Chains A and B, each alone.
Chain A
């Protein structure tokens, strides 16, 4: 709790304490801690002198500003039409098999979360996924398997 407070204070010093600073601050917290805890949102509200409801209301609007527990590596599988046509289901299957979780879940060691997402702008190299901010494209189950093994050993 104390540490969260310090981190939020540091971010507020960097991004400012105006309303427009809210998104950059929340994004920076998610980048470092994968999701927004209640404590973090309350701290942000305190720093920016706005209500915690305003902070939660804003965060909950954006799919990348998660307010639920998420793993260190968030895998977002594109489910929009081209990726869906080009083998998205096979990608989901291999991921579920390897990670032993279903779409929407997080592994018990909090290393991986698996979610589906809308178009990520790689339709010409479908199917595509994002792992945190890195895109991986033209995937096959074999390629996915190799990529995830790499992450497991990070």
Chain B
């Protein structure tokens, strides 16, 4: 495996002339834009990591007079706050990325689905959107963007639940297939991309795919914005080249006493100290939408796990049984073991339940509860029992 070390990058927040990039994009054909994305190796920055070029290619191939670009700004993963920062500081690039994506797939309309918790950003975003619309219409783009607000439901970050919410319904995930590229919002072909993905796409058009692939590794191209929090002297937003190990990350951000790093939020993985050196942050190791939480030795990993399970129990949409009941039983289960009401071997049963949820849950929420559960129980069993 390649190991690139820790390098700070300035791409997402780099000051650029948006108009210049938009003029360049306007002169490119749909196929050329998509090819740039494919060449860049860009994968979705929301966490799931689907190749952006492929997503655009599939949506472009659909024969439909109506298509949509949706920007997923329902950032809700515990420990993630980079999209808020990007929207606050670089919304022109978010809007620009959407218009470029629109040109690539043949969509004239885009939605930004912004989580309700970030409503305070809206007045500023509306002003910036108005000047953006004016600018791209002068260039000749036939594209417009509308903001839709969420109302405090983590599950609406799941793409099909987000579509349901835009359509005015309960945010319950749909069955897949059909995938959004065929049938997304309003049952029309839709490319749904994370805030950071759209900004990165615009920067790839600006600098060229060849420039972008110099950063990162074969499986994880480019750089990424990390949200760093927990037991660290320097919490905040950092854009880093992909491909570093957890150890290199901890050396930079740790407080000297880091015992575990939760990579990818509540639905991600817990990496214990003994695995810092061998674990690469990226799609070849532990993937992340950006959430990096450091825990030092004063923290109880039982409390961490309990907090996550409590989170999932509340945020499960309740539609499918494996997730609705599974989350509750995992929570009750660890409480029982902690209180001594169940034997420590009961944890093995709970791990089986987490495995069942991974197979049987309808969407990514229920499927990923086991990530944190198994990695915390597996690495910190004593803390869960005693």
Which residues from chain A sit less than 8 Å from chain B, CB to CB? 18-24, 26-27, 57-58, 61-65, 79-82, 84-85, 117-126, 130, 133-135
Rounded to whole Å, the gap between the CB of B383 and the closest CB of chain A is 15
Interface residues on B, range: 35 or more
**Could you name 22 residue pairs across A and B whose Cβ atoms are closer than 8 Å?**
A20-B167, A20-B186, A23-B149, A27-B116, A64-B150, A80-B78, A80-B266, A81-B266, A81-B293, A82-B230, A85-B231, A118-B311, A121-B84, A121-B115, A121-B118, A123-B79, A123-B81, A123-B293, A124-B228, A124-B235, A133-B119, A135-B120
CB-defined contacts of A133 to chain B, threshold 8 Å: 119-120
B235's partner among A18, A65, A125, A135 (CB-CB below 8 A) is: A125
Closest to A65 in B: B151
B168's partner among A22, A124, A130, A134 (CB-CB below 8 A) is: A22
Is B307 part of the binding interface, using a Cβ–Cβ cutoff of 8 Å? yes
CB-defined contacts of A21 to chain B, threshold 8 Å: 168
Please measure, in the bound complex, the distance between the C-alpha atom of A154 and the C-alpha atom of B4, giving whole angstroms. 54
Closest to B308 in A: A81
Rounded to whole Å, the gap between the CB of A20 and the closest CB of chain B is 5
Is B15 part of the binding interface, using a Cβ–Cβ cutoff of 8 Å? no
Is B80 part of the binding interface, using a Cβ–Cβ cutoff of 8 Å? yes
Closest to A25 in B: B168
CB-defined contacts of A119 to chain B, threshold 8 Å: 76-80, 154, 311
Closest to A27 in B: B149
The 9 closest A-B pairs by CB, nearest first: A22-B168, A123-B229, A62-B151, A124-B235, A64-B152, A64-B151, A63-B152, A61-B170, A121-B81
Instruction: Report B112-141 CB contacts with A as 1/0, cut-off 8 Å.
Output: 000111111000000000000000000000
Is B89 part of the binding interface, using a Cβ–Cβ cutoff of 8 Å? no
* B229 near A126: Cβ-Cβ < 8 Å: yes
